Chain A
Amino acid sequence: MSLLSILGVISSAIFSGTSLLYTTLGETIDERAGIVNLGLEGVLLVSASAGFAVTSQTGNPYLGVLAATLAGGLMNLLFGFLVITRRANQLASGLAVMFFGFGLSALIGKPYVGARIDGLPRFILPGLSSIPMLNTPQFKFDMLIYLVVPIAILIWWLLFHTRWGLRLRAVGENANTAFAAGCSPQLIQYQALFFGGLLAGLGAAHLSIAWTMTWAEFMTAGRGFIAVALVIFSKWHPIRAIAGALLFGGAVAFQLLLQASGIAISPFLLDTLPYILTVLVLIAWGGTRKHAAPASLGRVYQGTE
């Protein structure tokens, strides 16, 4: 295994993990406010297709990123209307959003299937270019990748060092207590969902505009669900999510590496790796998870409706 291929794995992991990280960060905010969005898959698809379509039409990837981001915010607001205002079951609403996303993204993306675009430009960070080892094409990243860790840190700061974050977390722990303290849980949850949706949109934008630069139906391949699992895995903490996203991005990259090295494990079994890993982690962390989760996280967790 050469240095090149190791770098290749790391690079793939970073590319693959970035969209996952954005999505996870968005979902972390949502869940900290007490809402589980199982329809993330649909949100991502709509954002990805919208962003791709706009980029293809206008030739401007930045506009595409903007479109994808907004699309994510809007989809989450739709979800929010159901679960906050209409008090619908979060699980069923999430799945409805998922269906909706499947269909809407297919509709939006139909004219652009197989189209190629010029995605976000990639460049090496000026500081890194002086390190000869890293000065390879594989380490040319786009701006969304460079921004993701600072954004994660920003979100950490927002959640734990501002009044808005305190109130948001309070709503997720106990909406009644938050209400007694003078907050409006509904308003806060809408804000959280919108913000989270914007981030999910950014993640989707990275997927279709910056990394793969294509559009295909169902191209997110379950990333929405992995993100939800990643939120649990990172114990609802934005900084830990970075490690988690890298790990899972790495699992995908690792699979590619194994294939390239000619190790004879069926690609299909390798496909299951991220999901099985997630389930195992969930089981292993099952006991501690209960204490780490926001106490009022989705009445989904009571399972009755």
Chain B
Amino acid sequence: MSQNIDTPFRTSLLISTLWVVVRYLIIFLVAFVLFGVILLIAGKDPVLAIKDTFSSTLRSTYGFSEVIVKMIPLIFAAIAVALPSRVGLINVGGEGQLYMGAWLATWGALTFTPLPPWVLLPLMMLLGMIGGSLWAFIPAFLRARGLVNETITTLLMNYVAPSVVTFFIYGPWRSPGNALYPQTVDFVPAARLPTFWGTRVHLGLVIALVLLVWYWYVMTYTRWGLEIRAIGGNPQAACRNGIPLTTYIIVVMCLGGALAGLAGMSEISGLHGRLRPGFSPGFGYLGFLISWLSGGNPIGILVMSFVIALITSGGDILQINQGLPFAVVNILLAITLFVVLARPSFLKEKKA
């Protein structure tokens, strides 16, 4: 069936990808220049910063692998925003959803310790998805009922989730050692996503990539993707054609939450091996950024996640080498988003 897709679909995918690449290059060029100016004003050396970033990340295999590690949760978070955006929803609750996903997955890790990994890990994944999904259900339901707009509720709930998690870490799940840095006990090996080639890159990468392909496939080839795109493109026409709007809104929003929950689960299971307070440096928001910058295009998401991961690695370097607070990378990210939002004429694009 999918082989019968006419050439125009394939061609349009190719063209849109090419166009997306060109757009990125221009956007980042402008953003880097502006960021460089700001660094100069602050008395720092932007060229040095870029050099340092590249040498520590792309020169060595380990450095490169660290970038990949940073990329994993970003891909999840980006799809968590991209999928609902196709139906016209704006999911800014990724941050809260991923904390709740991590929370529920941690519960699984701490409770079901005797299980073998090939049972425990999928269970944790499921719990992660459920946690994120439930956190997304409340705003989704309220939005579908027309009661409250989902942006404000999700943003407020983003502040609730980390506190709940911290409560559990300081409370029932507290590890007896480590008085200085509260965290849970280390997860049993069965609860850890395996890593590859002596680096910290973990199975979460594979899961994320699979989901990216899944996202692309669903949106391009399936009936649901068709109906989702119809809702996003013209809700009135979709409604008149019999597509059930409310159902899709709730389901898709919860799916977004589930994906964000998976981001949380993969971080704590694959990377950290325990639940720590504040383990997310804003993945949810970065996911939003990536989704917006890439316009929901799957290859764009992949590329952007990599670039953002690169930039955040650069932030670490800036902090170490030039004494700048890590948060400064947010300026670069913000400028990038500014450039896209300001829609200068040289970036005229057609929506996918």
Contacts and interface: CB of A to CB of B under 8 A. Distances in A.
Direct contact of A and B (CB under 8 A): yes
Contacts of A194: none
B262 interface: no
Contact of A272 (B163, B235, B329): B163
A222 B338 contact: no
Contacts of A92: 288, 292, 337, 341
Interface stretch (A94-102, A120-128, A183-191): A94-102
Contact of A107 (B164, B166, B328): B328
Contacts of A142: none
A100 B328 contact: no
Interface in B117-174: 142-143, 146-153, 155-157, 159-160, 163-164, 166-167, 170-171
B152 A282 contact: yes
A91 interface: yes
Given A100-B330, A286-B147, A304 B160 contact: no
Nearest to B291: A92
Given A103-B327, A103-B329, A103-B332, A271 B341 contact: no
A269 B163 contact: yes
Interface stretch (B15-23, B55-63, B70-78, B88-96): B88-96
B89 A303 contact: yes
- What is the interface of chain A mostly: helix, strand, loop, or mixed? helix
Nearest to A113: B325
A88 to B, nearest CB: 4
Contact of A276 (B38, B160, B334): B160
Contacts of B164: 268-269, 272
A106 B328 contact: yes
Given A217-B325, A225-B156, A89 B341 contact: yes
Given A91-B92, A107-B331, A229 B324 contact: no
Interface string A282-305: 110011011000000000110111
A130 interface: no
B152 A102 contact: no
Contacts of A107: 38, 42, 324-325, 327-328, 331
Contacts of B327: 102-103, 105-107, 217-218
Contacts of B342: 81-82, 86, 88
Contact of B334 (A86, A97, A271, A290): A97
B271 interface: no
A93 interface: yes
B335 interface: yes
Given A107-B42, A268-B170, A283-B147, A100 B334 contact: yes
B46 interface: no
A78 to B, nearest CB: 8
Contacts of A82: 338, 341-342
Contacts of A95: 92, 285, 288-289, 337
A268 B149 contact: no
B80 interface: no
Contacts of A218: 327
A152 B343 CA distance: 37
Nearest to A39: B334
Contact of A99 (B146, B156, B171, B330): B330
A279 B164 CA distance: 16
A266 interface: yes
A278 B156 contact: yes
Nearest to B166: A268
Given A95-B285, A217-B325, A282-B152, A103 B331 contact: yes
A228 interface: yes
Contacts of B232: 304
Contacts of A275: 156-157, 159-160
Nearest to A232: B152
Interface in B239-284: none
B228 interface: no
Given A99-B337, A266-B170, A275-B156, A301 B149 contact: yes
A92, A105, A217, A218 — most chain B CB neighbours (10 Å):
A92
A86 to B, nearest CB: 5
Most buried by A among B171, B325, B335: B325
A304 B235 contact: yes
A263 to B, nearest CB: 15
B27 to A, nearest CB: 13
Interface string A193-218: 00000000000000000000000011
A253 interface: no
A104 B39 CA distance: 10
Interface in B283-306: 285, 288-289, 292
Given A283-B142, A305-B90, 11 more contacts: A86-B343, A95-B288, A96-B338, A97-B334, A102-B334, A105-B327, A266-B171, A269-B164, A271-B163, A276-B160, A303-B151
Interface of A: 38, 81-82, 86-89, 91-93, 95-100, 102-107, 110, 217-218, 222, 225-226, 228-229, 232, 266, 268-269, 271-272, 275-276, 278-279, 282-283, 286-287, 289-290, 300-301, 303-305
Interface of B: 38, 42, 88-90, 92, 142-143, 146-153, 155-157, 159-160, 163-164, 166-167, 170-171, 232, 235, 285, 288-289, 292, 323-335, 337-338, 341-343
7 contacts: A91-B90, A103-B333, A110-B324, A222-B156, A225-B159, A279-B156, A283-B147
